[in-house]
Amino acid sequence: MIPIGERINGMFTDVKKAIAAKDPAAIHQLSEDQTKAGAKYLDINVGTAASDQVDAMKWLVNTIQEKCDTPLALDSQKLDVVKAGLEEVKGHCMINSCQADPEKLDIYLPLCKEYNAALVALCMDKDGVSQDTAKRLENAMTIVEKASEYGVPSDHLYIDPIILPINVDQRQPQMIFEAVSQIRMMADPAPHITVGLSNISQSTRERHLINRTMLVMLAAHGCDSAIVDVLDNDLMDAWITADLLMDKMIYSDSYLKAALA
């Protein structure tokens, strides 16, 4: 399992304040806490409130790297913000995200190649998120083919089938499970699958329960990554247990601790 910690995001008040004041303390703490909790990447999103998003991204990258070497996921829809992050990053990182339009992939995939970065690629294009599985799979195939064309290995590809809130369309989860199974077969080795998990529970009352149930169901179909609140212990315990049941780690009585060691 490849958890991407979602917490360093300018939409959270503490992060927004830290960015505005260029106060590293909260950022260092979140980096450390999420890493200890099992994050394999730390997502960083400056939020829409930052007055200068390029400057904010650079500051976040450098601030985190002062104390922490967990790979970063540069989360922005703006290319100049992503590029600013890439220039500051030491070592491997992830770009989050790019849509499946060929003309966008033609920009992002060469960047991945240049920086040895992983890419979160969304199963949506300029026409938006499709209501059916076939269109999502068509998008995924475009991503896989383009990545192959540019020599970006499938191990650096994190395809996101796009989760919509359960109270918006209840047919979506089953379509996503089907898409996940199919996408995993599109290349060998299989591309990773990642999701913005918290979307599923938007505006519901049982957010934690719905999030972790969805994550376990996704894992049962081969999804191996997700952008999540890694500080949610119940969520991480459920995910580790799903990994155990998918034979991705060896059983021991203390498998929960072993997974985070």
Q: Return the ∠ at Cα 196 (arms to 5 and 242), rounded to 5°.
A: 75
Query: Which residues 176-235 are close enough to bind a copy of itself by CB under 8 A?
Result: 177, 200, 204-206, 209-210, 213-214, 216-217, 219-221
Q: How far is the CB of 69 from a copy of itself (least distance, A)?
A: 31
Q: Select the residue interacting with a copy of itself from 78, 167, 189, 260 (CB under 8 A).
A: 167
Q: Between residues 126 and 205, which has the closer beta carbon with respect to a copy of itself?
A: 205
Q: Select the residue interacting with a copy of itself from 247, 258, 259, 261 (CB under 8 A).
A: 247
Measured torsion, CA atoms of residues 60, 97, 198, 54, in degrees rounded to the nearest 10: 30
Contacts of 61 (CB under 8 A, 6+ apart): 44, 72, 74, 85, 88, 89
Q: Select the residue interacting with a copy of itself from 21, 107, 245, 260 (CB under 8 A).
A: 245
Q: Select the residue interacting with a copy of itself from 2, 79, 256, 258 (CB under 8 A).
A: 256
Number of CB atoms found within 10 A of residue 158's CB: 28
Candidates 34-42, 121-129, 131-139, 170-178; binding stretch for a copy of itself (CB under 8 A): 170-178
Quote the CA–CA distance of 221 and 205 in Å, as a whole number: 26
Question: Facing residues of 210 across strands?
Answer: none
Helices (H), the chain: 13-21, 24-36, 53-67, 79-88, 102-115, 133-150, 172-184, 207-220, 233-245, 255-260
Q: Between residues 134 and 168, which has the closer beta carbon with respect to a copy of itself?
A: 168
What's the one-letter identity of residue 51?
Answer: S
Question: Facing residues of 122 across strands?
Answer: 160
Quote the CA–CA distance of 139 and 194 in Å, as a whole number: 15
Candidates 80-88, 131-139, 166-174, 188-196; binding stretch for a copy of itself (CB under 8 A): 166-174
Q: Select the residue interacting with a copy of itself from 13, 48, 51, 254 (CB under 8 A).
A: 254
Q: Between residues 114 and 253, which has the closer beta carbon with respect to a copy of itself?
A: 253
Q: Smallest Cα–Cα separation from 75: which of 158, 185, 164, 1?
A: 158
Q: Is 174 in the site for a copy of itself (CB under 8 A)?
A: yes
Q: Between residues 119 and 195, which has the closer beta carbon with respect to a copy of itself?
A: 195
Q: How far is the CB of 137 from a copy of itself (least distance, A)?
A: 18
Quote the CA–CA distance of 170 and 204 in Å, as a whole number: 13
Q: Is 131 in the site for a copy of itself (CB under 8 A)?
A: no
Quote the CA–CA distance of 106 and 126 in Å, as a whole number: 15
Q: Between residues 24 and 173, which has the closer beta carbon with respect to a copy of itself?
A: 173
Q: Is 261 in the site for a copy of itself (CB under 8 A)?
A: no
Quote the CA–CA distance of 49 and 176 in Å, as a whole number: 32
Give the total of residues touching a copy of itself (CB under 8 A): 34
Binding site for a copy of itself (CB under 8 A): 166-167, 170-171, 173-174, 177, 200, 204-206, 209-210, 213-214, 216-217, 219-221, 237-238, 241-242, 244-247, 250-251, 253-256
